[in-house]
Structure 1
Amino acid sequence: MNNQLRRLRNARLENVEASSTLGASPSVNNYNPIAMINKEINTEECRQLLKKVDKMREILQMEKVSLPQIVVVGDQSVGKSSILEAISGIELPRAQNICTRCPLELRMKSAPPDSQDYATIRCAGVDELIINDLSEISARVVECTNFLTGNLVNISPSPIFLTVYKREIEDDLTLIDLPGITRTQVDGQSPTIYRDIVSLIETCVQSESSIVLHVIPSSVDFTTSESIQICQRYDPQYERQIIAVSKIDKHDKGIAEKLQGIGPGSLALLLGSVAVLNRKQEEIDAKVSFEEMRRREEKFFQTNPAFADVPKEHLGSRELIKKLVSIQQSRIRLTLPSVIEGVKEKIQMKREELKHIPIAILTETDTRFAFNEILRNYRTAVEKRVKGDYEIQSGQVAKTFDPTARDQWDDRIAYHLKMIGKCTSAEIKRILSTFSSPNQGTQMLQSIEENYGGGLPNFPSSNIIQQLYQPYHKQLETPCKSLVVWVEQYMTSCLAYILEKVIPAEASYKLPLSRELNKVIKGVIENSRVKCMENVEQMLKMEEKVFTVNSNYMDIFKKLQASDKTQSDNRTPHDVLIGLQAYCSIVQARIVDHLSQLCEYWFIRNGVLLLDGKLNTEFTPAELLKWMKEPPLLEQRRANLRRSIDTMERALVAAESD
């Protein structure tokens, strides 16, 4: 068995050395934690490091920033207070039920040899109090606890800061004592007391910068401890956990192996475990001093045969203090630089978040300023898109334009108006090109022959040409009016999209203001559609009569005539058909151009580009203030961000100061 213990100790020392938690491993018999770390651990530099961390933790207690810390956890009544008393040499509150009901940050500081021992205590809502008589500490802790919890049974996550300055303290050390885990609810206690305590513990232990000091009685199976099971979820390899074995005078058989992580009920922790002798009630009543208790503790381990083969590092409160000090300094050196960088990153993120919160709007003047800014941005955005000044993405270029696919519409106004014009032109061309189809051409030639009447054979009546053209002209109404309707729908959708982009996303008034503005925008676009439709109807009315003075007509006619290979004694019907074909080419270009001009005139020049002026005069200052006034929640959010930034900046000053 002794050989097995020796091998385990050597293996643990190698692991500790590899993890940089302790320094070079000495022989097992001469084990000394102080010798295993850098000699600077007791220097002023190390004290200043701990002081900075303590200050940062206090400043950042309301922020989600994880700092290097040692938290003390355990079930209710397992001797946590006794362990802390043995470490600190001061009396702490004791009770039958939950003794610690809010986090107690216990800071132990070395005092100069020529000074008096004293302590300070404070918490949220209670100013710092200097305690010159250390026997009063317990009463002052109870007072702060009751102030924070409001009664004698519930808990609070708000911490108490207790700093003890004693001449006998060799190494500065900070521990955070958390409420003991209890499942039994007492009178007046919250029904969620168990869940509240577990949640508080989880919050403190889940960070990798936290070291967990479990307090577990010697007679208890370490693996069944609830605090161990909670921490295992966040540290499954047991790399950040250490056990203070309490009530060692009631140990069971096999305690030597158990302390060293061997055998039933033990845990092989990287940081190990240390046994501590608690003060008994009769010793408390007899006011046995902590110095005397340490002498009794040393004698207990020296004279008890159960601990004869247990290495010194596992025995006594002095060894526990040394181990905790070395772990604390090592953890601070390892994690503090990354913590500082993390705080800087959080400051930058919060500044960005604050920058994206709209300016405060509390008066009509504030409202007018913000509203005018929105209108300026809106007009600029719309004008760019009308001119075609936008980024073209490769995915957009590859897509085939489909006017019916509303889900593919975007804010490229110039592009969409051009493409719908092309689609309309293609549809008009399809309607008018039926003159040149073989079947239709044969029928038209026959119709021309039959309707000459008494006219000259080589000079057909103009009525015949008009009659031939009229059925096709009537078909032009659908694509022309459909174009106007499509432009109305697209512009309404596009302008609403652009408006959504220019109103700040975080603005509390985004929904009510955009709803009112879209009503006006929709009204303007509807009016543009009505005016444009009236002009389209007039255009179609004018186009009923076959008429053109366009010189291109004869050029097209001659080209078509030259390409016509028809052999006939009577060329007149064929020339009439060719003339209609040439005329339809002129009509197609004329109508498409006219439609495009009408849409640009009514929807763009007399619609979109006049919107900001319309919107600027549509609402009274009182109406705008009603929609845009900042709600209290947004004001609180802005204040919280500023306070958070200020808090973290103060923490950085504390961390980076000499």
Structure 2
Amino acid sequence: MDPKPNELSGSQYALRRKELLSLLKQLRATGSQGELDLPRITVIGNQSAGKSSVVEAISGITVPRDAGTCTRCPMECRLSSSTNRWTCQISIRREYDASGSLLDKVSETPFGHVIIDKNNVELALRRAQVAVLNPDLDPSDILRASADDLTKAPFVSSQSLAFSRDIICVDLEGPELTDLAFIDLPGLIQNAEPRTIKLVEDMVVSHIKGNCLILVALPMTDDIENQKALRLARQEDPDGRRTIGVMTKPDMLTAGSTKARDIWLDIIEGRRHPLVHGYYCTRQPDDAQRAAEITPSEAREAEANFFSSTHPWSTSAHKERFGTVHLVATLSRLLVGIINDTLPRILAEAASKLETCSRELATLPEELRGDPATHMLKLLTTFCDDVQRSTSTGSDASQLIHRNRDAYASFKSAIRKTAPNFIPAVLYDLDGNPSGQHEEAAETSLGVDDLTKAKPFFLNNMRDHIKQSVTRELPNNVPFSAKADLIMQFQEGWHAAIAVCFTAVRQQVEAMLEQRVKDTFYRYDHLEGHIRIFIAEIVQKHFDACSSILLPVLKFETTPYTQNTHYLAESHAKWLGIYKEARSSSRSSQPAHKKRKVDQGQSQAIRASQSKPPSPAPTGFVSGSNGFSRKRPATDDEHPEGESERDLQIKEALAALSALGYHGVKPEDLARLVPPDEYETELQMMAEVRGYFQIAYKRIIDNVPSMIDYMFVKAVAEDMQSFLISKFALGTADATERCSAFLADNPMVVIKRKELSARKDRLEEVKHALHTFGLS
């Protein structure tokens, strides 16, 4: 004999069952099912499969079922046995927004007052469904509407949803109820728009996944192979471990449907389409009995009489498979078992997800609190302090300073390459006449400065230049303008070199500022854009200011001037020695195959043949104090120790001069002993201009970087804070309002923070509920 509900309620098992179902209700009410796979029973079936009858039989209430009416949203029924009188409370749980996304905060809102008369439940459910399908309507208007009103505007309109995923919750309590909870889904439809068919199907599939007992309503008037609901259940539960079949409408089989009865009997007794939990067969009141307002107890008695008197059900050995009472008892037992078994896993899953959620929240910037203008000032101060550190000394500035040094080094190299390329030789053509045209071969063999990229300038070029510059001067007087013109010539490329250097430094400063902007303002898109505009403005401002100073500095250099006369004299003497030595030492070293000849103080071209292989002329100098460019290749007369005969002769000469009391004489000084050269004036001119280049070169490669560093790099950093404070008008009356707009978080950050915060709240509620229940 089956235990009665009130007997179960008094048992220890019933108490545990009630506690578990109460916990499940609490978890679902907070929307935890969006985060965790909570245990549940879901009732599905094709439209007109008798699903509503099963729901009525289990819950004891009447649901809307007249022609043209169907379930258009999920209904969650929560039954609780009690010794108190029967009551019903309908609530609406909105879980999704208009776009179908899960709401941040899920809660259940009571819809209407507590119902104590079962006859009022059907109309209340109709009203609740209208409220779910029309979320913009005032609930109080819906609660006052009659059944007839609910079929008209504004309760039915083009704005009404066809279906909704939000849930109608029905809490039933009474002495004839068994503790149980289940979700009734809209029936699967066939004759509708493809979009609507798919919407309902997707809703069903989403509910029957995971930790769910699937209760499938199977009308016995149709072939089981035609049941779409059963196919979806098999799709999600291929092993049949979570599916329970409930056969409906056995009284609709005609007397002649013997084969159909046999097939269904085989299914009930497990010989066809087996399921782990098997199938149950129920018989619900027909239309006439419902019209006569048959009571639940009378309906169960009529059901028992039907199965005990109707073949072949009356002769089946599986009596426990027939009747709603057996179905309800099994569902209650299975649901409680699943809840009890999965609670520890749910707690662990909730704890893990809560930890992950907290970590993700920690990566997001905190929500702005306090006065926006104060926060803006703090941000600007932090940014400007970082910029100051990046442009001063210390580890923070190392990257920018190193890159600027590279730009300054390139600038130095570019200026050095503009040095006059004076060649202490006369270039002759094939007829032995001085030629103004230079040849690469001559430049290579006679050049004394490998670093310069300037056009070669020979002695005959210098003579022509002086001649063209002479006006009223006395003989043997070189006009100052001749020197000034040559000086201006090597300065022609300096403007471009300065521009390249300054642009490179500006790019490095801009790159540093961009990184600091990202580091400080990354969370404020609107503010970040304005900061970039303001920074571009201040950078341009100081770039223009520094450029306006660099231009005069460059103009100053066009007028030769120095007070460093000592260094100028040394440089002039040094280069005069280098030029004379190069001219003297190359007299006997010109190749015989030259197409053009270079005269080294002779009045005629070098003869076309020589008796032994030539040695190349020097092409530069080794150090600032040595006029010799490099040693000539060794000959057959090479000294055993590797010194050439000329080197030994020079040493002997220096030793002899020292013995005579002429101390401190250097190899390059010997060039002064060379007899006067017919191009002595030109050589002196070359040495003087080249010597002055050293003065101007050293001056410009120090002054330009210093000015750029002081008037641009440091000026931008020092002016940044006051400039930005002025731009954002901090301290004015509307500063707070304006800063509030600038400090609005990135919309994606706001959405992410809101979503994570909502998830964290839900998970914390789950964890608290489980701990309160006794799990830890």
Using structure 1 for the length normalisation, give the TM-score. Answer: 0.73
Give the structure 1 partner of residue 627 of structure 2.
Answer: 561
- In structure 2, what residue type is equivalent to 1:283? Q
Report the counterpart of residue 482 of structure 1 in structure 2. Answer: 500
Conserved 8 A contact 1:93-1:99: yes
Partner of residue 595, structure 1: 704
How far apart, in 2, do the equivalents of 1:604 and 1:214 lie?
Answer: 77
1:529 partner amino acid: F
2:122 maps to a residue whose letter is S
* Distance (Å, rounded) in 2 between the aligned partners of 1:177 and 1:645: 29
Query: Paired residue for 1:532?
Result: 546
Partner in structure 1 of residue 146 of structure 2: none
Equivalent runs, 1:537-548 vs 2, <5 Å: 537-544=551-558, 545=560, 547=562, 548=564
C-alpha displacement of 1:117: 3.8
CA separation of 1:379 and 1:300: change in aligned 2, threshold 3 A: same
SS at match of 2:189: coil
Match of 1:499 among 517, 538, 557: 517
Q: What root-mean-square deviation, in Å, do the aligned CA atoms of Structure 1 and Structure 2 show?
A: 4.6
Rounded Cα–Cα distance in structure 1 between residues aligned with 2:337 and 2:695:
89
Structure 1 vs Structure 2: percent identity of aligned residues?
Answer: 18
Aligned to 1:606: 715
8 Å contact kept, 1:425–1:592: yes
Paired residues for 1:140-539 under 5 Å: 140-150=124-134, 151-152=150-151, 155-170=163-178, 172-184=179-191, 194-206=197-209, 208-230=210-232, 239-250=241-252, 252-253=260-261, 254-259=263-268, 266=273, 268-298=274-304, 300-301=306-307, 304-305=311-312, 311=318, 314-332=321-339, 333-334=341-342, 335-341=345-351, 344-345=354-355, 348=358, 351-352=361-362, 356=365, 358-359=367-368, 366-387=371-392, 413-432=400-419, 438=444, 441=447, 443-444=456-457, 446=459, 447=461, 468-492=486-510, 494-505=512-523, 507=524, 510-511=525-526, 513-539=527-553
1:388–1:219: structure 2 CA closer, same or farther, 3 Å change rule? farther
- Asked whether the 8 Å contact 2:373–2:739 carries over to 1, the reply is no
TM-aligned CA distance change 1:218 to 1:376, over 3 Å: farther
Deviation at 1:180, TM superposition (A): 2.1
When residues 594 and 65 of structure 1 are mapped into structure 2, their CA distance, relative to the original with a 3 A threshold, is: farther
- Equivalents in 2 of 1:534, 1:283: separation in Å? 103
Range with greater deviation from structure 2 (309-318 or 90-99): 309-318
Question: Are residues 1:82 and 2:53 paired?
Answer: yes
**Cα-to-partner distance string for 1:139-162 (whole Å, 9 max, x where unaligned):** 433343344335457544332222
Change in CA separation of 1:178 and 1:342 when aligned onto 2, cut-off 3 Å: farther
Give SS of 1:92's match.
coil
**Displacement of 1:57 after TM fit?**
0.5
Give per-residue Cα distances to partners, 1:211-270, cap 9 Å, x unaligned.
33222213434454343455566556655433322223346251134446765xx4x545
CA shift for structure 1 position 597: 1.6
Does the CA contact (< 8 Å) of 1:484 and 1:532 recur in 2? no
Cα distance between partner residues in 2 of 1:422 and 1:238: 79
* Stretch moving more, 277-286 or 426-435: 426-435
Gap regions ≥5 residues in structure 2: 4-10, 93-107, 135-149, 157-161, 254-259, 424-442, 449-455, 575-621, 633-645, 647-670
User: Aligned partners of 2:347 and 2:388: how far apart in 1?
Assistant: 50
8 Å contact kept, 1:67–1:339: no
Q: CA deviation at 1:107?
A: 1.0
Equivalent residue letter for 1:625? E
| 1:72 aligns with one of 40, 43, 67 | 43
Partner of 1:616, secondary structure, is helix
2:655 paired with 1:653: no
Q: Looking at CA atoms only, which structure, 1 or 2, has the larger radius of gyration?
A: 2
Is the alpha carbon distance of 1:636 and 1:162 closer, same or farther for their aligned partners in structure 2, counting shifts above 3 Å? farther
**How far did 1:607 drift?**
1.4
Read off the aligned partner of 1:602 and give its amino acid letter.
Answer: M
For the 8 Å contact 2:404–2:508, the answer to whether it is kept is: no
SS in 2 for 1:142: helix
Q: Structure 1 residue 325: deviation in Å?
A: 2.7
Do the aligned residues in 1 keep the contact of 2:45 with 2:187 (CA within 8 Å)? yes
Look up the SS of the partner of 2:71 in the other structure. Answer: coil
Question: What SS does the aligned partner of 2:64 have?
Answer: coil
Which residue of structure 2 lines up, in the alignment, with residue 138 of structure 1? 122
Pair 494,144 (structure 1): closer, same or farther in 2 beyond 3 Å: same
Q: Secondary structure at the match of 2:285?
A: coil
Any unmatched runs of 5+ in structure 1?
A: 1-31, 33-39, 393-410
Residue in 1 that maps onto 2:82: 111
1:480, distance to aligned residue in structure 2 (A): 0.8
The alpha-carbon deviation at position 368 of structure 1 amounts to 1.4
Matched residues in 2 for 1:543 and 1:519: separation? 36
CA distance in 1, matches of 2:228, 2:506: 68
Aligned residues: 582
Distance verdict in 2 for CA 1:286–1:388, change over 3 Å = farther
| TM-score normalised by structure 2 residue count | 0.63
Deviations 1:409-433 (A, max 9, x none): xx95334323322333333344449
Residues 4-43 of structure 1: CA distance to partner in whole angstroms, max 9, x if unpaired? Answer: xxxxxxxxxxxxxxxxxxxxxxxxxxxx9xxxxxxx9925
Give how far 1:313 is off: 6.2
What does the per-residue CA deviation read over 1:535-561, in whole Å, with 9 as the maximum and x for residues that have no partner? 322332343437556869769975332
CA–CA distance in structure 2, aligned partners of residues 273 and 549 of structure 1: 115
Whole-Å separation in 2 of the counterparts to 1:304 and 1:500: 81
Moved more, 428-437 or 468-477: 428-437
Q: For the residues of structure 1 that align with 2:269 and 2:687, how far apart are their CA atoms? A: 108
Code of the residue aligned with 2:411 in structure 1: it is: T
**Could you tell me which amino acid in structure 2 is paired with residue 413 of structure 1?**
L
Does the 8 Å contact 1:441/1:577 carry over to 2? no
2:542 partner amino acid: S
Checking the alignment, whether the CA contact within 8 Å between 2:372 and 2:739 is kept in structure 1 is: no
Shift of 1:203: 4.1
Shift in CA distance, 43/475, structure 1 to aligned 2, threshold 3 Å = same
Helix, strand or coil for the counterpart of 1:181?
coil
| Residue type of the alignment partner of 2:126 | V
